[in-house]
Amino acid sequence: MSNDGGARSEADEPTSFVLQPPNQQAPVPGNPYAAPVASPTHVVSAQSAQAPEGPGAGRLIAGRYRLLAKLGHGGMGTVWRAKDETVDREVAVKEPRVPAHLTERERVNSFERMRREARAAARLDHPSVVDVHDVAVVEDQPWIVMELVRGRSLGDALQEGTLSAREAARIGLEVLGALEAAHAAGILHRDVKPDNVLLGRYDRVVLTDFGIAQIEGETNLTDTGGFVGSPEYIAPERVLGQRPGPASDLWSLGVVLYAATEGVSPFRRSNTPATLQSVLNATPAPPASAQGPLAEAVNGLLDKDPARRPNAARVRALLEAAANPPATRPTQVVQATGRGGGGRGVRLGRKTWIGLGAAIVAAAVTAYLVIANPFAGPLPEGWKIKQEKDLAASLAVPAEYRRTVPDRESDQGHWVRYTDWSGSIWIGLALEKKAEDTGGQIAGSAAAEMYDDDTRFKESGSYELDMDEGPKKTDPSTTTYRDKKAARNTVPFKTDDSENPLPREVQIFYYRTPGGDMYKLTVSYPGAGDFTARGREVASAAIANLDIDKT
């Protein structure tokens, strides 16, 4: 990576990280260490790159570092793009950020953490670790001077789409290399997450933010009862207060790889306590987008027992195999059609099959069709399509089912239910609108919403479905709806009738629209007896023929 003071246009040196789906808009970096890569339609000239921007810009630090513009800020400081006037290059300068209300002890700890960040990074000689050039002391406060990484964070990239398994493995290899170098130097990072992984120019991957790193032999700065790190990426042993080791950082890498291919951490919940509980107790569904060596690496790294996780050498071997799959000749175009997912067919083009071996083509076709459209087939005889304008969707239901909607005067939300005359089987569709979600209750993805519900199922069964109390055995999984991410769960349970509890089973299909609205299609039926098979058939057909307008 070159820090050339802006002499060469950043638009001439784009990053090459492939996202699914692509987005042509230039992202706004969320990681303060990353300098934005200019859009091809907005080239930053050398002259404009030097112009100070914002309050505080133009200040000279330690007699040589001229502050140009703020790149971002975090809990421990503000990061500036600056000009090292001594050697004529641009650098990143981290200014200490200490709230005025902190006690003297907390202020001292904050400054010491910054010094440790500089020492930890400076001790590491690896291309995937940010180079620290200097620590300038200004009014007894340490300002860290480091290389300016031109690019964006993995966290920002994942806001646009997920990575392919091959690209995720390649990035994972670079992060693994940085962690291996840190562990060899007696340093634990303790905060490996997408926002701390930078995607630079020339395919460079950089691990940043050693601000809470633990250096072997040094005193722990965390106050009693304190907790550092990002909950959804923290290893279970750290949640339990046990002494962490290299396996703890590798766990976090496993979560990062999962999020890179699936779009969300498998442990993310609506609040921190629930997230920590899921880290300790939840068993994530196997990644749907990662197969073979990458899936083996992710599943192994997410073992709750650190002693059973694969070591760095094994992880490296698996990621190398995933990043460099054996090349095979392309196969012919395969086309399949079906009604599922609103009547759209599935077409697999030539590019889909590049890299697949001839011996697994038939299996791959079957697997793709199951994932993309798990219940493809014509509308069953005797069924009708019901247009629900309030829900902006159409439902397929048996013609004789009775329709129930909420009383609009009571403001019970947006839903509809169709029930057979015996009351044994019902189909329900509910819509949570983003515009009405003032409390931020809608999760960021279908998978995250499903995992939130799944946690409640496993812990208490509380889901307003007349369930008995106590944990449930669930079957969560991720899938797709019209080539977009969706999720599904099956939950067997007994009713909460204390005198005559009855076995029931419910299937729930989740889909979040690009605009942020959350749909849940629920089918409930007896869990034993003659109606069970019929209920599962109804669920299959209803899910396959769901047609949402805003996709």
Beta bridge partners of 377: none
Token readout for 183 is 């562990």
Token readout for 453 is 């519900």
What does residue 403 show for φ and ψ, rounded to 5 degrees?
Answer: -100, 135
Contact 174, 126 (CB under 8 A): no
527-543 burial, b for 16+ CB within 10 Å, e for fewer?
beeebbeebbebbbbbb
Is residue 136 exposed (0-12), middle (13-18) or buried (19+ Cβ within 10 Å)? middle
Token readout for 337 is 């059609």
Beta bridge partners of 82: 67, 91
Is residue 350 exposed (0-12), middle (13-18) or buried (19+ Cβ within 10 Å)? exposed
Three-state SS for 60? Answer: strand
Q: Is 191 a catalytic residue?
A: yes
**Catalytic entry in 84, 191, 249, 453:** 191
Beta strands in 280-341 (DSSP E): 334-336
- What's the one-letter identity of residue 93? V
**3-state secondary structure string, 450-514?**
HHHHHHHHHHCCCCCCCECCCCCCCCCEEEEECCEEEEEEEEEEEECCCCCCCEEEEEEEEEECC
Token readout for 45 is 């000239």
Is residue 148 exposed (0-12), middle (13-18) or buried (19+ Cβ within 10 Å)? buried
Sheet of 484-494: strand order equals: 402-404, 414-419, 426-432, 518-526, 503-512, 484-494, 477-481
Listed residue (435, 400, 439, 405) closest to 420, CA to CA: 400
484 appears as a binding residue in the annotation: no
Task: Give the DSSP H or E segment for 207.
Answer: strand 205-207
Determine how many CB atoms are found less than 10 A away from the CB of residue 344: 16
Three-state SS for 131? Answer: coil
Instruction: Measure the CA–CA gap between 175 and 179, rounded to whole angstroms.
Output: 6
User: In Å, how far are 292, 341, 404, 545 from 394, measured between CA atoms?
Assistant: 37, 11, 15, 8
Instruction: Measure the CA–CA gap between 128 and 196, rounded to whole angstroms.
Output: 12
Alpha helices in 123-245 (DSSP H): 154-157, 165-184, 236-239
Which residues are part of a known binding site?
94
Please identify every residue annotated as catalytic. 191
Q: Please state the residue numbers annotated as binding site for ATP.
A: 94
